Amino acid sequence: MSTPPEPPQQPSDATAQPSAYPYPHPQSPGPGGPMGFPPAAPVPQAGQQNTHAQPTLVGVPAQPGQPGQPQPVNPYLQQGPYPVVGPPPPPRGGGAGRAVLWAAVGALVASAGWAAGVFLLGTGSDPDLRGYSAPSNLCNAADYSSFREEYPDNDTAPTHNTLEDDALDEGLCNLSLKKSSSSYADAYLYLQLDRHKKTDPGPEFTANWKNYGDSHTGYDVDVVTGIGDEAYLVSDDTTSGSSSGSMYATLAVRDGWVTYTMTYSAYYSSYDDDTDPPTLDEVSDWLKADTRTTLGDLRD
C-alpha cells in the first residue's frame, strides 16, 4: 500500500527547481571513509605490532591481548517506514522530468514495501479479496475521467508496472495531466492497487493512514465513508492564490485484503502556464468519484 512524504521545499520564482532526489532524502554515509566504508588501518612502523591484521572470528569473543572487532556500519539502513502521499512533481520538461518522477516513484514503492508489514493470520486462512481482479495494466483499467474536464489533453505515454506473486499482486500507474494551453504537464496522478493474498493489511493500513496527521505536520486526514471497508483522504495544500505552493491529495481505500490509493500532486510557481488550478475540494471530489468507479469495474 502506498504511503505519503513531506511536501517539497518551494523554490524561488527565478532559479530554484524541485529536487531531483526522491523522498525521503538518501541516507548520509556512515562514519568512516568515502562512501561509508571505514578508513584504512594505519601502516605499522618498524618494530610496532600490527593489531589491525589480527583476524577475529564472528561470534567468538576477542582473546586477551587481542583487539575487539567493531560491528560494521550499514550507511544505507532505512530508519523506519512512513506512508507517503505520493511522488513529488518533477521539473517541467519531457524525458528528464519523467525520469525524475520515476525516481520518486521508486522511492515511494520502496517505502511502501517497508510499510507493508501486516498482521499474519493462522495457517489455512483464505484471503478476503472481495472478487477484485488484478489488471495487467492499471493505467488502462483505472478510471480518471473526472479530471479530464480540467485536464483534457490525455497522456499518450503513461507508465505502469505490475507485480504477480503468491503473496501479493500489485499494479502501479503514473499519469501526466495537462491542460490544452500548456506545453508541459500541469499535474500528476499516481495509482496503486494491492491484492494481499497471504496477510491481512487491515491493522497497519489503519495505523498508517488514520493517524498520519499526528506524525506529519501540515497534513489533514479525513475519514471517507461509503467506499470499501475504510477510506481516508490525506491532503496537504500550501497553494497561495494561483501562483505558488503545492497540492497533494491521496484517497486510500481498503476493502477486505485489497488496498487502492489514488494520488493527485501539483506544484505551482509564478512562471507556470497554469494560472487557474483546481481547488482541493474539487480534487477531493474527483478522487472519490473515480475511485468508486475503478473499484466497481475491477469487481465485474
More confident residue, 182 or 253: 253
Length of the chain in residues, anyone? Answer: 300
Distance from CA of residue 51 to its chain's centroid? 46
Tell me what the mean pLDDT of segment 81-105 comes to.
48
Nearest C-alpha neighbor of 159 from the set 85, 101, 89: 101
For 285, how many CA atoms within 13 A lie in the half-sphere containing its CB? 7
CA–CA dist 276, 186 (Å, integer) = 11
DSSP-assigned beta bridge partners for residue 175: 189
CA–CA dist 246, 239 (Å, integer) = 5
Cell of 220: 489533514
Residues 6+ apart with CB under 8 A from 187: 89, 151, 176, 177, 264, 265, 266, 277
Cell of 129: 479479496
Q: Which amino acid is at 221?
A: V
Q: Which amino acid is at 72?
A: P
DSSP 114: H
pLDDT at 242: 60
Asked if residues 269 and 243 have their Cβ atoms less than 8 Å apart, the reply is: yes
Tens of pLDDT along 53-69?
444 444 445 454 455 45
**Could you give phi then psi for residue 285, rounded to 5 degrees?**
-65, -40
Asked if residues 189 and 177 have their Cβ atoms less than 8 Å apart, the reply is: yes
Tens of pLDDT along 165-213?
999 999 999 999 998 867 788 899 999 999 999 999 999 999 999 998 8
pLDDT higher than 50, residue 254 = yes
Q: Which helix (H) or strand (E) holds 160?
A: strand 159-164
Torsional sign, CA 130, 229, 108, 148: positive
CA–CA dist 248, 102 (Å, integer) = 17
Nearest C-alpha neighbor of 78 from the set 25, 143, 14, 34: 25
Q: Where are the alpha helices (DSSP H) in the chain?
A: 95-114, 138-141, 202-210, 212-215, 280-298
Q: Which amino acid is at 71?
A: Q
Give the Cβ contact number of residue 162 at 10 Å: 15
Model confidence at 227, pLDDT cuts 50, 70, 90, reads very high
CA–CA dist 188, 92 (Å, integer) = 12
Measure Cα distances from 126 to 102, 134, 198 in Å.
35, 17, 8
CA–CA dist 189, 192 (Å, integer) = 10
Q: What rounded mean pLDDT belongs to the chain?
A: 73
Asked if residues 54 and 231 have their Cβ atoms less than 8 Å apart, the reply is: no
Model confidence at 139, pLDDT cuts 50, 70, 90, reads very high
Model confidence at 273, pLDDT cuts 50, 70, 90, reads low
Tens of pLDDT along 144-166?
999 999 999 888 889 999 999 99
State pTM to two decimals. 0.61
